[in-house]
Amino acid sequence: MEEKIEVIEGAELTRKKIAFRLLYTFLFVIILEILKYIVQVIALFQYVILFITKSYSPPLRNFSNKICNYSYRVMRYVTLNENARPFPFAEFPMEADPSEPEVRFD
Protein backbone atom coordinates (compact mmCIF):
# COMPACT_ATOMS: atom_id res chain seq x y z
CA MET A 1 0.00 0.00 0.00
CA GLU A 2 1.44 3.35 -1.00
CA GLU A 3 1.09 6.26 1.41
CA LYS A 4 0.32 9.60 -0.14
CA ILE A 5 2.04 12.75 1.14
CA GLU A 6 -0.52 15.45 1.69
CA VAL A 7 0.40 19.01 0.90
CA ILE A 8 -1.70 21.98 2.00
CA GLU A 9 -3.80 23.25 -0.87
CA GLY A 10 -2.01 26.02 -2.72
CA ALA A 11 1.37 25.08 -1.21
CA GLU A 12 3.80 23.49 -3.60
CA LEU A 13 6.34 21.01 -2.27
CA THR A 14 9.73 21.96 -3.67
CA ARG A 15 13.23 20.67 -3.11
CA LYS A 16 14.13 24.12 -1.74
CA LYS A 17 11.47 23.82 0.98
CA ILE A 18 12.66 20.29 1.77
CA ALA A 19 16.27 21.54 2.01
CA PHE A 20 15.28 24.34 4.42
CA ARG A 21 13.37 21.88 6.58
CA LEU A 22 16.43 19.61 6.55
CA LEU A 23 18.67 22.49 7.68
CA TYR A 24 16.28 23.28 10.54
CA THR A 25 16.28 19.57 11.38
CA PHE A 26 20.09 19.57 11.62
CA LEU A 27 19.89 22.58 13.94
CA PHE A 28 17.33 20.88 16.17
CA VAL A 29 19.32 17.63 16.28
CA ILE A 30 22.21 19.66 17.72
CA ILE A 31 19.77 21.27 20.19
CA LEU A 32 18.59 17.77 21.19
CA GLU A 33 22.18 16.78 22.01
CA ILE A 34 22.57 19.88 24.17
CA LEU A 35 19.24 19.14 25.89
CA LYS A 36 20.47 15.65 26.69
CA TYR A 37 23.36 17.09 28.68
CA ILE A 38 21.13 19.67 30.35
CA VAL A 39 18.79 16.91 31.55
CA GLN A 40 21.75 14.94 32.89
CA VAL A 41 23.07 17.95 34.82
CA ILE A 42 19.59 18.75 36.17
CA ALA A 43 19.09 15.15 37.35
CA LEU A 44 22.50 15.06 39.02
CA PHE A 45 21.94 18.45 40.68
CA GLN A 46 18.47 17.42 41.84
CA TYR A 47 19.91 14.30 43.51
CA VAL A 48 22.67 16.33 45.17
CA ILE A 49 20.00 18.63 46.61
CA LEU A 50 17.95 15.61 47.64
CA PHE A 51 20.88 13.98 49.47
CA ILE A 52 21.80 17.19 51.29
CA THR A 53 18.33 18.48 52.24
CA LYS A 54 16.24 15.27 51.97
CA SER A 55 13.86 17.30 49.80
CA TYR A 56 13.74 18.00 46.08
CA SER A 57 13.82 21.46 44.54
CA PRO A 58 10.34 22.39 43.20
CA PRO A 59 11.64 25.13 40.85
CA LEU A 60 14.23 22.76 39.40
CA ARG A 61 11.57 20.07 39.06
CA ASN A 62 9.26 22.47 37.17
CA PHE A 63 12.11 23.60 34.93
CA SER A 64 13.07 20.00 34.12
CA ASN A 65 9.45 19.22 33.26
CA LYS A 66 9.44 22.11 30.77
CA ILE A 67 12.75 20.92 29.30
CA CYS A 68 11.25 17.43 28.84
CA ASN A 69 8.24 18.89 27.05
CA TYR A 70 10.48 21.04 24.86
CA SER A 71 12.59 17.98 23.98
CA TYR A 72 9.42 16.16 23.00
CA ARG A 73 8.37 19.03 20.72
CA VAL A 74 11.81 19.09 19.11
CA MET A 75 11.70 15.32 18.50
CA ARG A 76 8.26 15.62 16.92
CA TYR A 77 9.55 18.34 14.56
CA VAL A 78 12.70 16.40 13.65
CA THR A 79 10.72 13.24 12.89
CA LEU A 80 8.23 15.14 10.68
CA ASN A 81 5.34 14.59 13.10
CA GLU A 82 4.86 18.29 13.79
CA ASN A 83 5.16 21.27 11.46
CA ALA A 84 5.53 24.10 13.95
CA ARG A 85 9.18 24.93 14.57
CA PRO A 86 9.98 24.76 18.28
CA PHE A 87 11.63 27.47 20.39
CA PRO A 88 13.47 29.78 19.48
CA PHE A 89 11.14 30.10 16.47
CA ALA A 90 8.04 29.85 18.66
CA GLU A 91 7.25 30.38 22.32
CA PHE A 92 8.83 28.03 24.83
CA PRO A 93 6.28 25.29 25.54
CA MET A 94 4.55 25.05 28.87
CA GLU A 95 4.23 21.85 30.84
CA ALA A 96 2.25 19.19 28.98
CA ASP A 97 1.86 16.85 31.93
CA PRO A 98 2.04 18.25 35.44
CA SER A 99 4.55 16.70 37.80
CA GLU A 100 3.25 14.11 40.19
CA PRO A 101 2.43 15.78 43.53
CA GLU A 102 4.57 13.39 45.55
CA VAL A 103 7.97 11.89 44.82
CA ARG A 104 8.19 8.34 46.15
CA PHE A 105 11.22 6.07 46.60
CA ASP A 106 9.77 2.59 46.79
pLDDT tens for each residue of 7-62: 555 568 888 988 999 999 999 999 999 999 999 999 999 999 999 998 888 899 98
Residue extents of the structural domains in the chain: 24-78
pLDDT for 43 equals 95
The answer to whether 24 and 82 are in contact (CB under 8 A) is no
Cis peptide before 88 (omega within 30 of 0): yes
The answer to whether 71 and 42 are in contact (CB under 8 A) is no
The pLDDT tens digits for 58-86 are 899 989 999 999 999 999 999 999 888 88
